[in-house]
Amino acid sequence: MLVYIVRRVALMVFVLWGVTLAAFVISHALPADPAAAALGNNAREEQLQAFRVRNGLDRPLAVQYGIYMARLAQGDMGASLRTQNPITSDLRQFFPATLELTLGAVVFALVIGLPLGVVAALTQGRWPDLVARTFALLGGATPVYWLAILALNVFHEKLGWLPGPGRLDAYSLPPPVKTGLVTIDSLLVGDREVFVDALRHLILPGLVLGMYSAALLTRMTRSALLEVLSQDYIRTARAKGLTRARVIGQHAMRNASLPILTVLGSLFGSLLTGAVLTETIFSWPGIGGYATTSAISLDFPAVMGVTLIAGLAYSVVNLLVDLLYAFFDPRISFS
């Protein structure tokens, strides 16, 4: 088990190195000058040149990459060209918001997708199944930005049930930053009001972002469970006189959970990086907006940083999923 983890981590480092190389090459492909992007339209030539020298942009690309990697090996991701802040502090600032939103979306996807899938599988061909399948179809086909604007318009503007854009109400000052997750931070200082406010702000963007995943989970759960329910051992279990609930809960779900887990893992990864549109419309200060701004302004170090952290998140989630496999299916072993 431990050997397996070490091997996987070594592989992860190798993959991430590949990611840095690809990101570096791609982000330098645009025929544009990052100094001009950072300093803007009015900047003078001598300012641009000073900026290039100060940030090492005047050196050959290979040298720039070498310097970047040498620094990265020491845990230094360099400084943002646009904000001149260390990338590590930028990521620390923006990543938690995205993580919080993504966790919210995953929770919603599970709460909606799993029960719907189970109900659909058990009522195959009847109306609940039809409802679930319709939802799976619509939820998977609705464009996120359209859903986001609609949700804001209906639930915030028209009905006033839920708050608008942002992570907190404008009138409540955010709690001191500890984890960067507003929900957790507000609990840490025991501020119930802010905690509730943060949760309420999480509902709409979380639902919008989680909608596609919920639809996918519904489909996956339904088909995985149907697959399992037609197996012999289920019939055996039923024949032994076990209640239907126990058969489904203990025997069927346990085996159906593997494909569901796989989907959940890849979903989590794609949600982390796919939150850009949701974040933009809900003015959610996460990594998505940061990545977009950085890409548009040719902020290479920032783009590299975002790419790395996304790659890392993907790898870690994948590893966790593989390890959970063993937990659910004793036949899988890592030795």
Partner 1 sequence: MKAVLTATLSLALLSTAGAQSSRQSTLVIGGDFSDLITLDPGVSYEFSGSLVTGNLYDTLVAYEGNNLSTLKPRLASSWTVAPTSTGSRLTFKLRDAKFSSGRPVTAADVVYSVNRVINLKTPSSFLYTDVANLKVGSVSAPDAKTVVMDIPKTANPNIVLALLTFNIGGVIDSTEAKAHETNGDFGSAWLKDHSAGSGPFMLNRWDRSAQVALDVNPNAFRRSVNIKRVILRYMLESSAQQSAMNSGEIDVAMNYTPDAFRDVVAAKKLKSQKADSFMLAYLGMNSAKGMPFEDARVREAVRYAIDQDGIISGLLQGLGRKTQTIIPIGLAGSDPKIYYPYDPEKAKALLKAAGKGDGFSVDFFVSTGSCAGGVPCADLAAKVQADLAKVGIKANIKQMVNSELLTAYRAQKAPLVQVSWSPDYPDADGNGTPLADYNAKSLAWRNGWHNADASKLAQSAAIETDAAKRLNIYKQLTALMVKEGPFSILYQPSRPIVIQSNVSGFNQNANGDVQFEKISKK
- Distance between start and end Cα atoms, the chain: 6
- Eight-state DSSP code of residue 163: -
Q: Is 21 in the site for partner 1 (CB under 8 A)?
A: no
Token pair for 306: 């975002």
Residue of 43, 61, 138, 189 that binds partner 1 (CB under 8 A): 43
Burial 39-73 (b: 16+ CB within 10 A, else e): beeeeeeeebeebbeebebeeeeeebbeebeeebe
Helix, strand, coil tally for the chain in percent (to 5): 75, 0, 25
**Interface of this chain with partner 1, residues 47 to 66, rule: CB under 8 A:** 47, 50
Q: What's CA 4's distance to the chain center, in Å? A: 26
Task: Give the total of residues touching partner 1 (CB under 8 A).
Answer: 60
* Cβ atoms within 10 Å of 183's Cβ, excluding its own: 21
Nearer to partner 1, 178 or 235 (CB): 178
Q: Which of 280, 318, 325, 326 binds partner 1 (CB under 8 A)?
A: 280
Taking each helix axis from N to C end, the angle separating 300-328 and 2-27, rounded to the nearest 10 degrees, works out to 150
Among 31-39, 215-223, 233-241, 304-312, which window interacts with partner 1 (CB under 8 A)? 31-39
Q: Candidates 125-133, 149-157, 210-218, 302-310 — which segment interacts with partner 1 by CB under 8 A?
A: 149-157
| Nearest to partner 1 of 139, 286 (CB atom) | 286
Part of the chain binding partner 1 (CB under 8 A), chosen from 29-37, 130-138, 252-260, 317-325: 29-37
CB of 93 vs partner 1, minimal distance in Å: 6
The yes or no reply on residue 243 touching partner 1 (CB under 8 A) is no
Buried b (16+ CB within 10 A) or exposed e, 112-131: bbbebbbbbbbeeeeeebee
Residues 6+ apart with CB under 8 A from 176: 185, 189
Residues 33 and 325 sit within 8 Å (Cβ to Cβ): no
Residue 152 touching partner 1 (CB under 8 A): yes
Map residues 281-300 to x or -, x wherever contact with partner 1 holds by CB under 8 A.
Answer: xxx-xx--xx--x--xxx--
Tell me: does residue 134 bind partner 1 (CB under 8 A): no
Cα distance between residue 141 and residue 136, in whole Å:
9
Interactions with partner 1, residue window 255-274 (CB under 8 A): none
Tokens of residue 121, six digits: 């599988």
Q: CA–CA distance from 152 to each of 17, 158, 164, 278 (Å)?
A: 41, 9, 7, 11
Judged by beta carbon, residue 268 or residue 300, the one nearer partner 1 is 300
Report the residue from 39, 184, 187, 312 that binds partner 1 according to the rule CB under 8 A: 39
The two structure tokens encoding residue 106: 């995953």
Contact letters (x/-) for partner 1, 172-211, by CB under 8 A? Answer: xxx------------------x--xx-xx--x--------
Q: Does 164 bind partner 1 (CB under 8 A)?
A: yes
x-marked contacts with partner 1 along 68-97 as a string, rule CB under 8 A: --------------xxxx-------xx--x
Kindly state the smallest distance separating residue 77's Cβ from partner 1, in Å: 17
Minimum separation from the CB atom of position 162 to partner 1 (A)? 8
Comparing CB distances to partner 1, the nearer of 297 and 315 is 297
293 CB-near residues (< 8 Å, 6+ apart): 82, 299
Q: Applying CB under 8 A, which residues contact partner 1? A: 30-34, 36-37, 39-45, 47, 50, 82-85, 93-94, 97, 111, 149, 152-153, 156-157, 160-161, 163-167, 169-174, 193, 196-197, 199-200, 203, 280-283, 285-286, 289-290, 293, 296-298
